[in-house]
Structure 1
Amino acid sequence: MAAGQPTILATSGGYKQGNRTRVEFNHLMHYAVELSGVTGRSPRVTHLGTASGDQRWWAAEMDQAARIAGFDFSHLNLFTMPNVEDPEAHLMEQDVVWVNGGSVVNLLAVWRAHGLDAILKRVWESGVVLAGVSAGSICWFQGGVTDSFGPDLKPVTNALGFLPYANGVHYDSELRRRPTVHKLVANGTLGEAHCTDDGVGLVYRGTDLAEVVSEAKGKAAYRVTAGAGESVDAIAVEERLEPRFLG
């Protein structure tokens, strides 16, 4: 088992502006590789861009970033058909599976149509590190808050459920995220929610939150739980979780 036990890194980050390219991988992406425990060779990382329709221009940006990082990098595309004959065999050979952002609702529908939901569970249980940003974070949880349906944020409650919590992303940069999470946790639509500011990641060993890490100073993660009160008086309680700065 590559990572020692099933491991997920759920983030609101992972990228930065490049010096000679538009995108480079930031500390959170490199930490996903570190969590895999790979040594003595280039880390094998595959990218799933399903949430944005497997955009080839973005894949090219990721390829450039991967060359700078020294990764043995690949893509698992599902549009217009899977680009590998055996997606499960491909994913099992990786050290890290990184899922990009976009529409988490569309991602879940396409993954289920291709049986990737069950495949990814087996991949996770085998020790391949699962990681990602935004939609690529929410997907591992029971659900979260999404703009997949339009500009008004709505709940998604049928995510993969590998982790028994809800997830909130871009908690500090999109002003409607925090109050929407609070409302949905308070009224019981979402359960306990684990949320990240931009640049912050949550590390899960099995289903336990083991560590909070950050590639940006002054940022944090948050645990949001239902507080006292009934119906319209229901409230949510937010606990700030200080991260370890990755530098």
Structure 2
Amino acid sequence: MAAQRTILATSGGLRPGERTYFEFSELTQFAVDLAGVTGRAPRLCTLATACGDNPHVLHALAEAAKVAGYEHSHLQLFTMPNVPDPAEHLLAQDVIWVMGGSVANLLAVWRVHALDEAMRAAWEAGVVLTGVSAGSLCWHTGGTTDSFGIDLRPVTNGLGLLPYGNGVHYDAEERRRPLMQRLVGDGTLPESYCTDDGVGLLYRDTEMVEAVSERDGAGAYHLVRDGDAAVETRIDPRRL
């Protein structure tokens, strides 16, 4: 368990594998290191709720965890939970890793199964929370999403473990940056942190303490409201 409540919110952590479909990359290994496990394989639970628990994705994540040497499990909710007590299962992990996809659907399904409460309990207990894209947005108050269609829209009902907005894929999808700036500027989203692909934000308790990157030249960004506009400040991440 981490000594403090710990979240690593990322636009990365996964890459194409050499002999498997996926491999976990440096950001995920950093999240595992944050758990401080010694003397045994770290326990990592993956969730692909945002992909509708797609069997291909679940299998690919299990293969990636095997390659990385993690003790892996997954928590699926379709068509029913695959473990007797999801909250108890999450509390038994060192790291919880959440796959991208539809953050709107993820939040709705998690709340139906009380995983919003279970995730908070795991976070409070020192389980490291991490993930990519939807698995980054979910920990915050909200951000930008294509969950509702091709045109990006705000999502404002995140779990709120972190009192900030979150922008993902900031350099990879050209509509993300201007929408995040507008949403912070008009007050739809609060103070926000954003990540280029390959970058993660490390939060201790609710403070953003460090940006880290698995990709050269990528950045993180801090947005605050000033009048009716957003002021953006680049944060140069530490290269992993």
Q: For the superposition of Structure 1 and Structure 2, which TM-score range results when normalised by the shorter chain?
A: over 0.9
Equivalence for 1:231: none
Find the aligned partners of 2:106 and 2:14 in 1 and give their Cα distance.
20
Q: Matched residue of 1:219: which SS?
A: coil
Find the aligned partners of 1:110 and 1:21 in 2 and give their Cα distance.
29
Question: Offset of 1:126 from its aligned partner?
Answer: 0.2
Equivalence for 1:239: 233
Give the gaps of 5 or more residues in structure 2: none
Find the aligned partners of 2:138 and 2:205 in 1 and give their Cα distance.
16
1:173 and 2:199 matched: no
Question: Offset of 1:22 from its aligned partner?
Answer: 2.1
Q: Matched residue of 1:144: which SS?
A: strand
Letter in 2 for 1:15: L
Q: Matched residue of 2:120: which SS?
A: helix
The alignment's TM-score, normalised by the length of structure 2, stands at 0.99
Q: Matched residue of 1:182: which SS?
A: helix
Question: Offset of 1:59 from its aligned partner?
Answer: 1.0
The aligned length equals 240
Offset from partner CA, 1:9-41 (integer Å, 9 cap, x none): 000000112122221110001011001011111
Give the gaps of 5 or more residues in structure 1: 229-233
Equivalence for 2:43: 44
Q: Percent of counterpart pairs with the same letter?
A: 59
Find the aligned partners of 1:241 and 1:102 in 2 and give their Cα distance.
26
Offset from partner CA, 1:159-206 (integer Å, 9 cap, x none): 100000000000000000000000111111111110000000000000
Q: Matched residue of 1:42: which SS?
A: coil
Q: Matched residue of 1:217: which SS?
A: coil
Find the aligned partners of 1:210 and 1:102 in 2 and give their Cα distance.
26
Offset from partner CA, 1:30-84 (integer Å, 9 cap, x none): 0110010111110100001101100111111111111110000110000000000
Q: Which moved more, 1:19-28 or 1:44-53?
A: 19-28
Q: Matched residue of 1:31: which SS?
A: helix
Q: Matched residue of 1:98: which SS?
A: strand
Offset from partner CA, 1:79-107 (integer Å, 9 cap, x none): 00000001111111100000100111100
The alignment's TM-score, normalised by the length of structure 1, stands at 0.96
User: Structure 2 matches for 1:28-177, cutoff 5 A?
Assistant: 28-177=27-176
Runs (4+) off by over 3 Å? none
RMSD: 0.7
1:19 and 2:13 matched: no
Find the aligned partners of 1:158 and 1:22 in 2 and give their Cα distance.
32
